[in-house]
Structure 1
Amino acid sequence: MEPSDPSLSYPGAVALSQGSNGAWGYKSFPQLLPLYIFKGEPAGRSLCDRDCTAVWPIIRAEKNDKPVGFWTIVKRDDGRLQWAYKNSPVYTYFEDRPNDAKGAGKNMDWYLDESGYAYLARAGVELSPPPIDAKAVKAKKLQATAELLQP
């Protein structure tokens, strides 16, 4: 069933389904795994690196894909394209199975280097206290919490 509200349109890599509790949620297609965004991750950019994506696989967009509804595409630092919902990059979780979301509420910690601080400052994200010298500081941890993606 296709949503009648165009803001509920979604890309082909995504499905919208109703759970047994009656709540609607986005899932990966065709695997039907629950989808997540991270509250605390900067809008429009994934901080999940190669090791992180082993645990939080991305919803990959192809070069010919176009934004649809609230869904946009972000270019990752590794060059891959990733679907984003309302500018938040979208992931699955490695332990999930269809209708069994284990990633909700999990925290992901990212360690920022000097370029990470510079990007967040440009994006308007305040980190307190700011580093005196980001090179001298091992790296400040930025924490984000996984939330199930629902329309």
Structure 2
Amino acid sequence: MAQSPAGAWGYKSFPQLLPLYIFKGEPAGRSLCDRGCTAVWPIVSADSNDEPVGLWSIVKRDDGRLQWAYRNSPVYTYFEDRPNDAKGGGKNMDWYLDEHAYAYLLSVGVAMPPPPAGVQTGKDKKVEAVAELLQP
């Protein structure tokens, strides 16, 4: 991770920085983004020997992986983003359940259960979480 001269945080992806996101509405210190979700919203992984620093901490996910968090909010990238081209801001965490995203997940090899009849929108989820670009 690195901070730009303007102060925005980014994930180092040679040769430039990818935007980082947190989800407003996700509980502090816990990721609700499951396997299908992380295919679209890749986590910013932490290693077991990494140490928290300043406003950055490490959370343990339900799947056992470690993930960086900023101000106790788990941090993600977005699959469509390119350096200096953020496209994930404002999207709901559950958007990936629509029929287009379901087809994308299958196309990249994510094992998914058969889709339910009709379009699954995820509106039955108890928590709504919206992606927000990580700002200092």
Query: For this structure pair, what is the TM-score category when the shorter chain's length is used for normalisation?
Result: 0.7 to 0.9
Determine the structure 1 residue equivalent to 2:72. Answer: 87
In the alignment, what sits opposite 2:4? 17
Aligned residue for 2:63? 78
- The structure with more strand, counted as a fraction of residues: 1
Task: Give the corresponding residue for 1:26.
Answer: 9
Looking at structure 2, the residues matched to 86 and 99 of structure 1 have their Cα atoms a distance apart, in angstroms, of: 23
Q: TM-score, normalised by structure 1?
A: 0.67
- Shift in CA distance, 101/78, structure 1 to aligned 2, threshold 3 Å: same
Q: Within 5 Å, give how 1:49-128 maps onto structure 2.
A: 49-109=34-94
| Cα distance in structure 2, aligned partners of 1:107 and 1:17 | 26
The residue type paired with residue 10 of structure 2 is: K
TM-score by length of 2: 0.74
Quote the Cα distance in structure 1 between the aligned partners of 2:125 and 2:30.
18
- For structure 1, the residue ranges without an aligned partner over 5 or more in a row are 1-13, 111-138
Letter in 1 for 2:54: G
CA contact 2:37–2:94 (8 Å) conserved in 1 = no
CA distance in 2, matches of 1:80, 1:148: 23
- Runs of 4+ displaced beyond 6 Å: none
Q: Which residue of 2 aligns with 1:141?
A: 126
Gaps of 5+ in 2: 96-123
Separation in structure 2 between the aligned mates of residue 91 and residue 140 of structure 1, nearest angstrom? 20
Does structure 2 retain, via aligned residues, the 8 Å contact 1:109–1:142? no
- The CA distance in 1 between the partners of 2:35 and 2:51, in whole Å, is 25
Using the TM superposition, give the Cα deviation of residue 109 of structure 1 relative to its aligned residue in structure 2, in angstroms: 2.5
**RMSD between superposed Cα atoms in Å:** 1.5
2:29–2:73 contact (8 Å) kept in structure 1: yes
Q: Which residue in 2 is equivalent to 1:130?
A: none
SS at match of 1:24: coil
Retained in 2: the 8 A contact 1:40–1:143?
A: yes
Contact 1:109 1:141 in 2 (8 A): no
